[in-house]
Amino acid sequence: MFFENQRLNNDIEKVEENLRTNVTSKNQLLVKAIADTVGAGGKRLRPAMVIASSYFGKIRQDRLIKLASAIELLHTATLVHDDVLDYSPFRRNRETVYKKYGTDMAIYCGDFLYTKALLMLADIVPAKHLTIAAKAVKTICEGEVDQYRDKYVMNLSVPSYLKRISRKTAVLFGASCALGALCAKCNHSITNSLSKLGFYYGVMFQMIDDYRDYKSGDSEWGKPVFNDLSKGILTLPGIYACKNNKEIYQKVENYWRKEEKSNEELQDIISQIYSSGGMEYTENYIQRYRQKAFREIEKLPKSEARDIFADLINKLHI
């Protein structure tokens, strides 16, 4: 397993089992699509955040596993819909639902997973806390629209980028920690620190993902490299380079305008982004959020759970 802590690994295995056995449908085509999606694996970071946060309090294990499973389903639903929007044939080195079953089926599958997740949450989360999950889903949708709006936008600012990745990625990490803590009846101080910690982790996670998109070779996370820039999406390395180098700005603009795009042109742009200092700029931003996350960890009681979060942050590297 991905995690150093055996207790966490054991609980994640229970989440895996719950996803395999309880996320199903009477519709056999949907069953196949769900099995392909849920069975595609992944690091299960969001359910791990739920579980580790709950260790600061107390919660019945069956409720914890259901809560962590629901959060993973929300995340999986966003990925299924993302693959449709991005026309992605592969994720985690496997065919996507979109590629294997088509657009319609992928949309139905994503909708089903959203619904299943919300039903699971409604069964275990007090009504006053359900808004956390609902607002997270709403915010993720807004983040996706932000990214759609920002396609082929050359003058994208760093604050706009940060807002986009906060909505698109970080908010669900923060919500995962908050729900884990609240459902385990943690006090306000612990819950607040965990929520911030999850959010900062999510920002760092997305920045590292964007950073890796500029690296040559196969992506460690099972995604094609240079994917964002080739599809008109500027992330932090490119934003910095275009802002500080007119030649790179012009090359990116010209590349995006062309109907026939060459790989050689793209490689040249990537090389210039490297030499512009865009990668180092992104590394510094990642380090800022790492420090923010560790400051929240220091506010938490010394415990096994605190060590788990420190390990999660240390494992998140370029």
Decide if pLDDT at 249 tops 50.
yes
In a domain, 182, yes or no: no
Indicate whether 25 belongs to any domain. Answer: yes
* Structure confidence by residue, pLDDT tens digits, 20-38: 988 888 888 888 898 888 8
Tell me if residue 95 falls in helix, strand or coil.
strand
Ranges of beta strands (E only) in 156-212 are none
Predicted TM-score (pTM) of the model is 0.94
Answer whether residue 289 shows pLDDT above 50. yes
- CA dist 207 → 183, 201, 203, 227, 287 (Å): 29, 10, 6, 14, 10
Is residue 138 predicted with pLDDT exceeding 50? yes
Same domain, 295 and 250: yes
User: Is 277 inside a domain boundary?
Assistant: yes
Give the closest residue to 150 by CA, choosing from 231, 91, 88, 258.
Answer: 231
Q: Which of 82, 106, 124 is the last residue of a domain?
A: 124
Residue with tokens 């395999």: 20
* Residue for token pair 């919500």: 175
Asked whether the CA dihedral 203, 143, 117, 72 is positive or negative, the reply is negative
The answer to whether residue 297 is domain-embedded is yes
Name the residue among 272, 277, 266, 183 with its Cα closest to residue 226.
266
Q: What is the DSSP letter of 301?
A: P
| CA dist., res. 286 & res. 26, Å (int) | 45
Tens digit of pLDDT for each residue in 57-81?
999 999 999 999 999 999 999 999 9
Residues 160 and 276 in one domain: yes
- Predicted pLDDT of residue 216: 60
Q: Are strands 94-95 and 90-91 parallel, antiparallel or unpaired?
A: antiparallel
**How large is the average pLDDT for residues 106-120?**
94
> Is residue 77 located within the same domain as residue 33?
yes
Read off the pLDDT band of 205 (50, 70, 90).
very high
Domain-terminating residue out of 124, 143, 166 = 124
Q: Residue 264 pLDDT more than 70?
A: yes
What is the rounded average pLDDT of the residues 253-270?
92
What residue numbers bound the domain in which 163 lies? 155-174+188-303
97 in any annotated domain = yes
Q: Are residues 80 and 3 in the same domain?
A: yes
Domain count, the chain: 2
Phi, psi of 5 (to 5 degrees): -80, 125
pLDDT at 217 over 70: no
Shared domain check, 273 and 203: yes
Shared domain for 99 and 200, answered yes or no, is no
State the average pLDDT over residues 132-143.
95
Are residues 159 and 299 located together in one domain of the fold?
yes
Q: Look at residues 82, 105, 124 and tell me which one is the last residue of a structural domain.
A: 124
Tell me: do 202 and 100 sit in the same domain. Answer: no
Mean pLDDT of 265-283: 95
Six-digit token string for 206 = 């997305």
Residue 43 has pLDDT above 90, yes or no: no
Domain containing residue 94: CATH number: 1.10.600.10
Give the model's pLDDT for residue 168.
95
Q: 218: pLDDT confidence band, cut at 50, 70 and 90?
A: very low
Q: What is the mean pLDDT of the chain?
A: 93
Distance CA 212, CA 223 (A): 10
Cα gap 205→198, rounded to integer Å: 10
